Amino acid sequence: MIPLLTIEGPTASGKTNLALKLAQALGAQIISADSRQVYRYLDIGTAKPSKAELQVVPHHLIDILEPDESYNVGRFCSEAGRISEDLHQAGILSIICGGTGLYVSGLLRGIFPALEIPGGIRSGLWERLANEGLSVLYEELRQRDPGFAAQVSNKDKQRILRGLEVYQATGTPITEHWRRQTHEQRFQTFRLLLDPPRELLYDRINQRIGAMLEAGWLEELRGLLKRGFDPACPGLNSLGYKELLPHVTVGKSLDECAGLAAQHTRNYAKRQCTWYRKHKFDLTLTSSECNISSVAGIIQARLQ
């Protein structure tokens, strides 16, 4: 089996900092499990590792797509699996680092085969989206597949539609498909969770929003629009960017937009924490400021 370290946790918990330190201590490389850091030009608003950090430790699955391209769990599992196998062949440990829980779970347990969704189901859902709104469809998803609904944002159009179309096509929730699937165990995994106190986490999120704005987040967003990317494209539909768009496009109050970005990010972090409570971890830390040598020793002993 391929040894694998995962570093998981809510947004702003310090995953990047811890992953860099452990990668240096373990001679490892990092595979990003962040569904938004795959996009080029979205640097500040996705808290992407800096150029200096990317030079310290090799990273994978960052800056691989244009903002108007789509990415999904199936593609992540295929690419992350291939990279981890290649690194293992070279004697290098892979660290999966990111807060997109669906990606990490899909990689570790496998994903069920692609389903044929009749065109009528898909077009019917899009018509309902236009007529009834996303909130109605999300509420239906909560009724049909509460486990999957708890893992996605009520603003995540792509995943809400996916959950409903799978249910309508098969009569079975996505979470039940996952439960039924069988797969060969590919990885010997050590799962590490960063779980800071909630008040501290929320304070860090608030501070991060301000720091991103000071670092030029609005200029980054304006640059994306000048490149011709549609505000509705997958990249610009990312958390934070979509809240700031009204300020850039129609002059809505920056304080109001930034406040919404912070609020929605805190809400997202809360959903992430709920997700992690349903999973088992080999080690849980409350801070990335820890004894790296000690933590690295624990990991090495388990993965040998």
Tell me the CATH number for domain 2-111+182-303: 3.40.50.300
- Residues sharing a CB contact under 8 Å with residue 68, sequence separation 6 or more, in sequence order: 229, 230, 233, 234, 235
pTM reported for the whole predicted model: 0.82
Burial string for 207-245 (b: 16+ CB within 10 Å, else e) reads ebbeebbeeebbebbeebeeeebeeebbbbbbbbbbbbb
DSSP line for 112-151 = PPP----HHHHHHHHHHHHHH-HHHHHHHHHHH-HHHHTT
* Predicted pLDDT at 222: 98
Gap between the Cα atoms of 14 and 21, Å rounded: 11
* Predicted pLDDT at 5: 98
> What ranges do the domains of the chain cover?
2-111+182-303, 119-180
- The CATH T-level fold of domain 119-180 is Histone, subunit A (1.10.20)
pLDDT along the chain (304 residues), means of 10: 96 96 98 97 96 94 96 90 96 96 89 75 92 94 90 84 91 81 76 97 97 98 97 94 97 97 96 92 95 96 89
* Predicted pLDDT at 176: 83
Helix runs in 50-133, H state only: 51-56, 73-89, 101-109, 119-132
- Strands laid side by side in the 283-285 sheet: 59-60, 29-32, 94-97, 2-8, 187-194, 283-285
Question: 189 and 4 in contact (C-beta within 8 Å)?
Answer: yes
* Predicted pLDDT at 68: 96
Other Cβ atoms within 10 Å of 78 Cβ, number: 12
| 189's tokens | 């995994």
